[in-house]
Structure 1
């Protein structure tokens, strides 16, 4: 491509500019042969490359049926379509098999950015293999409610781990010369009427929770594109929101990449371009005509159009320069990586009497039951659904790993998802009665998750719950292996001795589970969401899903563990929780210094020791408890984490760095991020509820105040030394009294003055003070005070 982009833009007709800023078909950008501009290919998804041959290669003209087929994909059917190892193309839109890695809800539980980076590299190589230049992911919307239909694609209820996981994946992907599209920007936390709903969020929660993960990911990875979302945000369509796409994304975060729409996510194309949404996807003749007409009428400035074209040409050039047409992905190696990712992400939630790992000394006869043992539930439904290149069936992998040391029997127990089979259930129960241990595979309903609709409850399939309870009546040692999109309630938890939480762990889940069951791997996953006791106790319950097309985020800042901490509630399993087959001790926490300024970085360290009996990985989580101040604050917030891999008996000094600026909260009155001066407690924990070590540091920064008004109380004015001194001077000048006497009298009167300052000075003290003069004294200098 010609790299003098400004000359190219100058040579374009208005029609060509509109074409450039619009998709061609479902998955390509427009080509302009006259100017030597070639197109690029993009495709979903967040955890696998979903390459549709017919739609992308133009073997047949795309239609709305194609798009609806993509959105409506059922994970069970897609998995079935790829069962043959390296098999032919699958059911939906001729999607070719690719590696189905763990979905976001599972992946983030590894808390290992280096491992996620490797997944990004693998996705990049597969994109190059297929000729894809832009992968539409990762998705990092906050998992505000476990009912959200696409919660399985997203990483966490917390922006720190969401942002860091996304940055790692993006860096790995883009290191392979393939662009990422960070999505969905922003506050797309529900699939309920997703193109209509207005996410109504107060400024602090918006900034500190729902935008922070995006900011963090962008700062650490600079994704080539950002994708706007379907919903409205505080009354404005996100794809048409100057606040979001220009002020925050570009002016404050200095993002220089391209913004693209979600598919058919734009309702007013001219307004979206003016707001900063450069590329409209997919091709939509009506939108193109509307934009061209607005340009010709002068409703969209030429400079705005040209700036968007410049971003588009920059993206096209970047993709073409990094194209590697001879790349052949090593799908077998990627399958092994998928197995490792699954094993590192699966969370051991319960292990009574150290039942796991299963060894010949403990058990010999193992009864396996549950339909998912043969037909594993590995991913969610919708546009991200990936046909797995290879699929590990848990039962096959259990038999393989068990070898001759164990006797394995299998009875499905639940051959149907929608109804009981009494005969099959009785067979599974009798099998369990005769065994030493029962391993029961259960799941949520396939297809209940996905696009344009949320889950109705947090239950596993009723037939699966009955299977657990019936087997537990005859077998006291029950291991449950759970597959689910997001948190579920567990009234059956007391019926099992051990519980492996896989979420949707991808095509390597079967092998990963088998190796964890028999101790070939040590579980090290940690939850990235809080698991509730009931749906009704979840933070968003009272406001979900909203009414009158308004989705009111009434819990504000208190999402996930922040809510449980503030309410002093005990969840079923806390954020960050996970068990291991090893024991770890933490000691010798040290902080480099006691006091810090706003531009400093806190450096802390600790010693972690593995006491065995096997090698394992410990996740060190850093939470910070802020000092009290003017604003309502969380009890604590995650500010960092690190993984430590240790052999039995090995110790390691772990060092963590925390910039003081990351202690800031957003002050809506000042419209800025503010670090509160005072004492902060640094907490190192194995979960949000298992704090091991603490230390305190003092942050010395100048206090910042909201500008005062004449109706503020005298007590409020006294709290701000600068304005109070100016008011004292003004009163002294009007009353002819010494400033020292005025200061003392006002200070003494303040507790009894119930009205505003102007009324206090004029009505109560009888002073002749002009309101404008008083406000001038209060307002100078501006918001920041010494």
Structure 2
């Protein structure tokens, strides 16, 4: 049912509401709906979880709506044990397509495919009568241990923001709203509703918020969801700086902000901060808000604004709804297979073990439970009851019909067991051994972080043992995020599918046998050891505070800066063909703050089979004013090439994406000077570069004040001349005396005023010097004392 009301009529509805009705409107109705107002004919809208699939719980959505039943049902899904099977985990959840999880799909680097995912999710939502799908999630995968890292796209805000924007556009162009989440710094599940993510402002701006800003700028999601954690001591759901000053005032976001489920602890504070909608329904929080409205702690204008945003969302969502939508689930399953194939990463292929020649193989040994019971997704609120599941073992048999294929559980190799001798004999006789490894099923998900980066109990040791018996062993991994590989030197091939969704079984088999050429690349760095990870020393925090000690050096930025060799670098992935890069070019050799730069390169498929390459563009500053990463991703493109084919790839980069944030100036700044534009196959495989000049104001290291050291004031020629003229006028100096005074000042460790006062006495007042320095700041574009 559409709801055609004008902006004027929406405002009039708010005016007609009682305080009780307003409070009800900005609170959930049951677990998954907004509130209905029958007196004013305001309809509700339905939302549910998902990002890589629609989770429609019959009990939660269509069952009893009392608080006790709803909470119990909600917790049963959050805490579902996927190791017990689909029926126990999902109950009467309606089947929907389980697409690759975020950590898998991010490796596709394919924004067009992301849009197709959004279209498919919208169609399934429409068929279920769902108006808002709670996703995508784009929190930075700061640590591979994080329980919800499988939901998120990567460790870099550029890839995360672009993939998310495409998914959102695909959904919203087809009438279903998105909820960009979890805003912000939801990077661990340890004490997730009480832990404070303590992040310095540069890292917060440049890494953890940047992906959200990028996605919002490119897609304008209907809603943004605040996270459970605290941010620098303040609950994100109640954080005015985050939800109003940054999200609305700086970024211009005009949609609705909702809480994560039961993520609000102080409802009046959350509404004052800019959190419009409290989900799900809570009688206690509604009463708390009503009392705060009645006694003036929540201004009526703030409540009215939140009501108006809810009404606008209801109007948009109801008018986007389509009735009698049918879904071709077979087509969506094929899409899930294609997405998994585009996302799977070939990490090692020594001696060209892969692709396997199905017709030539006489004997294949398949090991590991995930070959028969595929691990396709993480656990928690994002889980989906799949419509179908491709079983890797069945798919292997399909592609190698003439081979003898033996399957062995991990337990078949237990020392001294009745099955050990026969299982080892099969390994010894096999032309190829395929080991399907996985992390602990049911533990990788919402509510708890992993405790290590190894595979499930005994798998690492068994891989090493079997590889020493048969060198033609390939490991196929189903994991939420990066894992360590103590056996990497023994195995011939490694394929990573992450959590590849219901079509991963066929996708992996097609890659193993060469039906599909692998083309995924990593969106996180794989460490050689857990201790190598950037935040190792401060994870997981203590006393309810988690210090993000690595600052801006997240993921590959840290490995590059520390010159530390990762197991596999960010952006890495092998193919069955090879690609040459040539003739890197930029369309301009000088840029300023308003410029747009186009980087181009010729890429040639120099192999014998068709393949896809992911071209990445990084920038490397030569003499940064503040500490910067060695290089940072700024753009990418995925291209399809036939054998011998050459294409020229062009990637557009805005100057705004080359900036860094200075907390002292409180501004995004461009560094003046030289900047290398690097075209790469991965963050550690730079194929060519161009040098450009950046035209920007050369700023002092900090905002100038009377306490600044003289060297800071005098390092920029503009400030040096102004300060010299000031000294000359105030102290009646000639040019030679002025130069000597400047040289004297430059060697002092005292503040600039105390340095001058030491020889000038009271001839120059502190207020006069402060006024001079404030004027220099203004002329540099910085407000006095602090940047505006």
Q: What is the TM-score normalised by the length of structure 2?
A: 0.96
Partner of 1:537: 532
Tell me the alpha carbon deviations over residues 702-737 of structure 1, each in whole angstroms, 9 at most, x when there is no partner. Answer: 224443111222222222445444433332233222
d(CA) in 2 for partners of 1:235, 1:453: 21
Counterpart of 1:291 in 2: which secondary structure?
Answer: helix
Counterpart of 1:645 in 2: which secondary structure?
Answer: strand
For the pair 1:73 / 2:70, whether they are aligned, the reply is no
d(CA) in 2 for partners of 1:264, 1:43: 15
Shift of 1:471: 2.1
Counterpart of 2:163 in 1: which secondary structure?
Answer: helix
Pick aligned residue for 1:16 from 18, 21, 25: 21
Instruction: State how 1:726-737 maps to structure 2 within 5 Å.
Output: 726-737=722-733
Tell me the alpha carbon deviations over residues 650-682 of structure 1, each in whole angstroms, 9 at most, x when there is no partner. Answer: 110111111112110001111010001111011
Tell me the alpha carbon deviations over residues 672-706 of structure 1, each in whole angstroms, 9 at most, x when there is no partner. Answer: 10001111011111111111111111111222444
Partner of 1:708: 704
Partner of 1:299: 297
Pair 271,430 (structure 1): closer, same or farther in 2 beyond 3 Å:
same
Shift of 1:425: 4.7
1:617 and 1:643 in contact (8 A); partners too: yes
Tell me the alpha carbon deviations over residues 325-366 of structure 1, each in whole angstroms, 9 at most, x when there is no partner. Answer: 211111110000000000110100010110100015763321
d(CA) in 1 for partners of 2:719, 2:461: 69
Instruction: State how 1:348-363 maps to structure 2 within 5 Å.
Output: 348-360=346-358, 363=361
Partner of 1:667: 662
Partner of 1:469: 464
1:414 and 1:467 in contact (8 A); partners too: no
Shift of 1:76: 3.2
Pair 421,12 (structure 1): closer, same or farther in 2 beyond 3 Å:
farther
Instruction: State how 1:85-96 maps to structure 2 within 5 Å.
Output: 91-96=89-94
Partner of 2:308: 310
Counterpart of 1:219 in 2: which secondary structure?
Answer: helix
Partner of 2:47: 42
1:397 and 1:511 in contact (8 A); partners too: yes
Answer with 655-664 or 710-719: which moved more.
Answer: 710-719
Partner of 1:273: 271
Shift of 1:114: 0.5
Partner of 1:87: none
2:262 and 2:280 in contact (8 A); partners too: yes
d(CA) in 1 for partners of 2:721, 2:466: 76
Counterpart of 2:440 in 1: which secondary structure?
Answer: coil
d(CA) in 2 for partners of 1:194, 1:76: 23
Pick aligned residue for 1:53 from 55, 58, 65: 58
Pair 707,465 (structure 1): closer, same or farther in 2 beyond 3 Å:
closer
Pick aligned residue for 1:565 from 560, 563, 567: 560
Partner of 2:786: none
Tell me the alpha carbon deviations over residues 54-88 of structure 1, each in whole angstroms, 9 at most, x when there is no partner. Answer: 2112356433211210211223345x33xxxxxxx
Pair 598,414 (structure 1): closer, same or farther in 2 beyond 3 Å:
same
Counterpart of 1:780 in 2: which secondary structure?
Answer: helix
Pair 711,579 (structure 1): closer, same or farther in 2 beyond 3 Å:
same
Counterpart of 1:180 in 2: which secondary structure?
Answer: strand
d(CA) in 2 for partners of 1:194, 1:158: 22
Shift of 1:424: 4.4
d(CA) in 2 for partners of 1:415, 1:505: 26
2:600 and 2:648 in contact (8 A); partners too: yes
Instruction: State how 1:480-629 maps to structure 2 within 5 Å.
Output: 480-629=475-624
Counterpart of 1:462 in 2: which secondary structure?
Answer: coil
Pair 63,727 (structure 1): closer, same or farther in 2 beyond 3 Å:
same
Partner of 1:85: none
Pair 703,690 (structure 1): closer, same or farther in 2 beyond 3 Å:
same
Partner of 2:408: 411
d(CA) in 2 for partners of 1:665, 1:784: 20
Partner of 2:744: 749
2:412 and 2:423 in contact (8 A); partners too: no
Shift of 1:306: 0.8
d(CA) in 2 for partners of 1:6, 1:30: 17
Where does structure 2 lack aligned partners over 5 or more consecutive residues? 782-788
d(CA) in 2 for partners of 1:215, 1:656: 20
1:264 and 1:281 in contact (8 A); partners too: yes
d(CA) in 1 for partners of 2:507, 2:37: 48
Shift of 1:505: 0.4
Partner of 1:84: none
Q: How many residues align?
A: 773
d(CA) in 2 for partners of 1:658, 1:735: 50
1:585 and 1:609 in contact (8 A); partners too: yes
2:186 and 2:228 in contact (8 A); partners too: yes
d(CA) in 1 for partners of 2:462, 2:756: 76
Q: What is the TM-score normalised by the length of structure 1?
A: 0.96
Answer with 2-11 or 522-531: which moved more.
Answer: 2-11
Partner of 2:785: none
d(CA) in 2 for partners of 1:194, 1:253: 27
Give the RMSD, CA atoms, in angstroms.
1.7
Pair 638,421 (structure 1): closer, same or farther in 2 beyond 3 Å:
farther
Counterpart of 1:336 in 2: which secondary structure?
Answer: helix
d(CA) in 1 for partners of 2:635, 2:18: 50
Partner of 2:200: 202
